[in-house]
Amino acid sequence: METTATKQANKTNGRLTVRQIKRKVGEAWALLENPEYSEKQVFLSAELLYYDADKEKVLEESEKYEKGHFALFYFGTPDPNVIYLL
């Protein structure tokens, strides 16, 4: 499942859990504000600012924000044919 249309989140929704964000975003990239992590660095919650299946559109949207703590996160299934270097 892939999101094809640009979708904009409503910032007034407040903090969402990872499960809530994934349900809303589907298989897409998300721009998150103030992400919260556990002591073991597991992503727990954040404020959803914007999401889209096209990573470039999300990166363009991120340029509108100057100050704050933001994260770019992919909520889709990783491609098994791609090797990821971290």
Q: Looking at residue 63, what is its pLDDT?
A: 94
- Compare 8 and 36 and report the one with higher pLDDT: 36
* Number of neighbouring beta carbons within 10 Å of residue 65: 12
Q: Output b/e per residue, 37-62; b: 16+ Cβ within 10 A.
A: eeeeeeeebbbbbbbbbeeebbeebe
* 4 vs 63: CA distance, rounded Å: 21
Give the pLDDT confidence of 19-74 residue by residue, as tens digits.
Answer: 999 999 999 999 999 999 999 999 999 999 999 999 999 999 999 998 999 999 99
* 52 vs 39: CA distance, rounded Å: 29
